[in-house]
Chains A and B, each alone.
Chain A
């Protein structure tokens, strides 16, 4: 389809393992965002990529979290040495430009991470 695609849709891992989550944004969208949502909680901003600018990493909760965006398209969120509190749904979104005018982010269906 033409929407934001995320993989895996579900990931169960053991505490201490590393995980990689992938996001394919909508073609042509210059902005890409990662959020996470824990059970019963709102969306927590993690990181934001806009074109070729340096990413806004201000939301990353610890240095175990990192993300990259290759070729201005696909993004990978990496969590090292996972902890149980990392369990959440990780949502990726994209937008065609700076979002402050339209406010419209196009979200993927999310990657549900469970750390045992």
Chain B
């Protein structure tokens, strides 16, 4: 079983749509959680951290459910510029970040 699993998509949505991505992780010792964004042929960049209490940054909301070992990312009012691959990332104590394979989003006009 992969440590971090995501639906690869692609998710094809029109501008203005709300889209949600899900992610599950297998190691209950995972301590911290993040979403990264990767544009085509570019390096990944941190999008936001994920907390049990939820984390909102503008149109983006991230949520963690430790009991279910489940992480989500909600994007409201999608923009063309949101088109990218979204990577779910977990950290287990004293190790490097473990990345999921990513979910691809394509927003069209």
| Residues in B lying within 8 Å of A, measured CB to CB | 31-34, 42-46, 49, 87, 89, 91, 93-102
Is the beta-carbon distance between B91 and A99 smaller than 8 angstroms?
A: yes
A side interface size, CB within 8 A: 23
Residue in A99, A101, A107 whose beta carbon sits within 8 Å of that of B44 in the complex? A107
Residue in A33, A41, A104, A110 whose beta carbon sits within 8 Å of that of B46 in the complex? A104
Q: Which of A16-24, A42-50, A79-87 is found at the contact surface with chain B?
A: A42-50
Residues in chain B near residue A103, CB distance under 8 A: 32-34, 46, 49, 89, 91, 97
Is the beta-carbon distance between A107 and B45 smaller than 8 angstroms?
A: yes
Is the beta-carbon distance between A42 and B101 smaller than 8 angstroms?
A: yes
> Which of A35, A42, A98 lies at the interface centre, i.e. has the most chain B CB atoms within 10 A of its CB?
A42
**A56 on the B face (CB < 8 A):** yes
5 of the cross-chain contacts (CB-CB < 8 Å) are A43-B44, A56-B96, A58-B95, A100-B93, A107-B45
Residues in chain B near residue A91, CB distance under 8 A: 43-44
Residue in B46, B49, B94, B102 whose beta carbon sits within 8 Å of that of A105 in the complex? B46
| Residues in A lying within 8 Å of B, measured CB to CB | 33, 35, 41-43, 45, 48, 56, 58-59, 91, 98-105, 107-110
Is the beta-carbon distance between A45 and B96 smaller than 8 angstroms?
A: yes
- The complex places the Cα of A109 from the Cα of B102 at a distance, in Å, of 18
Is the beta-carbon distance between B102 and A42 smaller than 8 angstroms?
A: yes
Is the beta-carbon distance between B43 and A109 smaller than 8 angstroms?
A: yes
Given A41-B101, A42-B101, A100-B91, residue A110 in contact with residue B43 (CB < 8 A): yes
